[in-house]
Homo-oligomer: A and B are copies of this chain.
Amino acid sequence: MKNEKAEEIFRKFLKEGNNRITPERFEVLEYALEYEGHFGADDLFILMKSSKSRVSRATVYNTLELLVQCELLSKRNFGDNISRYESNFKRQQHDHLICVECGEIVEFTDTRLLNIPESICKDLGFELDSYSFNIFARCKNRKNCKKHSNEKK
């Protein structure tokens, strides 16, 4: 179940930044890649704790930030003041629609968005780092809605 390719990328990134290569960091990577969907740092910490893992909360927070830097993970904000992470690994670029009733998160890709951030940056004299585009909406068919377990937990 281990992901050799991602480990390789992470190892290289750590080496280049003079960050130490520790087993704890790779343990966080492994759990993060296995996580289905979006997760908060604390969710991951609790999951790891409830498995056998002995990593500390500080290490989880720290490592997730490193994994964002080397682009193995993305950091998202869905408007509830919690940072969520998701694996970028082998996934295409996408954005999110969040149901304001039940918290369901739908991913979508819209080609119209591809060039907009870049061109706005150019216009304003900035260099693009990243962008976030979230749509907040309601299921038209409410039957669908409430039954989803809220991702906020």
On whether A132 and B79 interact (CB within 8 A), knowing A97-B120, A121-B137, the answer reads: yes
Q: Which residue of B lies closest to A79 (CB)?
A: B77
CB of A79 to closest CB in B, whole Å: 5
Interface positions of A (Cβ within 8 A of B): 75, 77, 79, 81-83, 97, 99-100, 106, 108, 110, 112-113, 116-117, 120-121, 123-141
Name the prevailing secondary structure of the A interface residues: strand
Provide the residues of chain B in CB contact with A133, threshold 8 Å: 131-134
Provide the residues of chain B in CB contact with A113, threshold 8 Å: 116
Q: Which residue of B lies closest to A118 (CB)?
A: B135
Question: Do the beta carbons of A120 and B108 come within 8 Å of each other?
Answer: yes
Question: Do the beta carbons of B136 and A130 come within 8 Å of each other?
Answer: yes
Q: How far is the CA of A140 from the CA of B99 in the complex (A)?
A: 37
